[in-house]
């Protein structure tokens, strides 16, 4: 039976797209086939999020740890990224999607760095959904880089050390200016963050789905949104119990 539509939609959804390799291996295919199938789901996820009124969609595309994968697989992933940006950027721009890339830009191929920068620049003024691509991203690395910025700002006199607070840190992480994710979805049945948005996900809801990423279709996205809509978000605050008069 189909679930009812969610009564409330999150502003910001973040997704750990997991399971491409396992999807391919289960079908006797090379892992690259799983990554290619996963790209199709990226396109569908962006459309579905836009239709659901979601303002920000963050996708964990390539972690800073993924460089440790076999060289051929990394090469294939870089090729897919080049293909996706070159093929889909014009359509994303036409659909009024704004692209933002988070992660470390150092030590990546110059042509990929240029593609990512072009995607951001070309869509900067768009006012539709913001697609945040986490590429060469690791949350611990992000926090280290934010700490360095804080030190530099203190040393240069821009910031007083005594004024460092949560807002100061939030203003120096990669997602500065973007609201924290309301919900983090992970496919493949794994139940961990894997160094993803550790600072930003402090009060996020988590939805773990058993399906592998290439099987994450519109219905699966809808299922995750329905589960989110049923959550009660308290942000550490507990409502006081009602006391009956005369008790």
Q: Which of 71, 54, 40, 145 is nearest to 102 (CA)?
A: 145
What angle (nearest 5°) sits at the alpha carbon of residue 239, between those of residues 234 and 241?
150
Q: What strands, in cross-sheet order, belong to the sheet with 205-208?
A: 98-102, 130-137, 56-63, 12-16, 183-186, 205-208
- 18 catalytic per annotation: yes
Q: Which of the 8 DSSP states describes residue 235?
A: T
Q: Give the model confidence (pLDDT) of 178-224 as tens digits.
A: 999 999 999 999 999 999 999 999 999 999 999 999 999 999 999 99
Query: Strand locations in 38-129, DSSP E?
Result: 56-63, 98-102
What's the structural domain count of the chain? 1
In a domain, 125, yes or no: yes
In a domain, 219, yes or no: yes
Residue 241 has pLDDT above 60, yes or no: no
Is 89 one of the annotated binding-site residues?
no
CATH of the domain at 88: 3.40.1180.10
- E strand or H helix that includes residue 16: strand 12-16
In a domain, 168, yes or no: no
Is 205 one of the annotated binding-site residues?
yes
pTM over 0.75: yes
Q: Which of the 8 DSSP states describes residue 2?
A: P
In a domain, 165, yes or no: no
Is 31 one of the annotated binding-site residues?
yes
In a domain, 169, yes or no: no
- E strand or H helix that includes residue 207: strand 205-208
Is 93 one of the annotated binding-site residues?
no
Parent domain of 56: 12-138+181-229
Measured between alpha carbons, how far apart are the two ends of the chain, in Å?
Answer: 45
In a domain, 69, yes or no: yes
In a domain, 156, yes or no: no
Asked which of 10-24, 67-81, 210-224 is least confident by mean pLDDT, the reply is 67-81
In a domain, 71, yes or no: yes
């Amino acid at each position: 039976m189909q679930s009812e539509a969610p009564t409330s939609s999150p502003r910001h959804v973040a997704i750990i797209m997991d399971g491409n390799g396992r999807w391919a291996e289960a079908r006797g295919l090379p892992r690259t086939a799983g990554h290619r199938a996963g790209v199709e789901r990226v396109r569908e996820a962006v459309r579905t999020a836009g239709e659901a009124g979601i303002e920000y969609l963050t996708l964990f595309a390539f972690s800073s740890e993924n460089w440790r994968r076999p060289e051929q697989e990394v090469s294939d992933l870089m090729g897919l990224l080049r293909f996706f940006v070159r093929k889909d950027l014009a359509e994303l721009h036409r659909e009024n999607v704004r692209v933002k890339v988070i992660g470390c830009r150092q030590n990546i191929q110059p042509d990929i760095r240029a593609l990512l920068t072009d995607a951001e620049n070309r869509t900067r003024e768009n006012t539709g959904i913001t697609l945040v691509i986490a590429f060469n991203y690791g949350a611990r690395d992000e926090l280290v880089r934010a700490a360095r910025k804080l030190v530099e700002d203190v040393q240069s006199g821009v910031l007083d050390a005594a004024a460092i607070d949560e807002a100061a840190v939030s203003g120096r992480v990669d997602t500065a200016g973007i609201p924290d994710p309301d919900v983090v979805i992970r496919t493949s049945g794994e139940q961990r963050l894997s160094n993803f948005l550790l600072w930003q996900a402090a009060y996020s809801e988590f939805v773990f789905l058993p399906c592998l990423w290439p099987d994450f279709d519109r219905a699966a996205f809808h299922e995750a949104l329905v589960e989110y809509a049923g959550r009660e978000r308290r942000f550490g605050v507990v409502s006081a119990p009602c006391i009956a008069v005369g008790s």
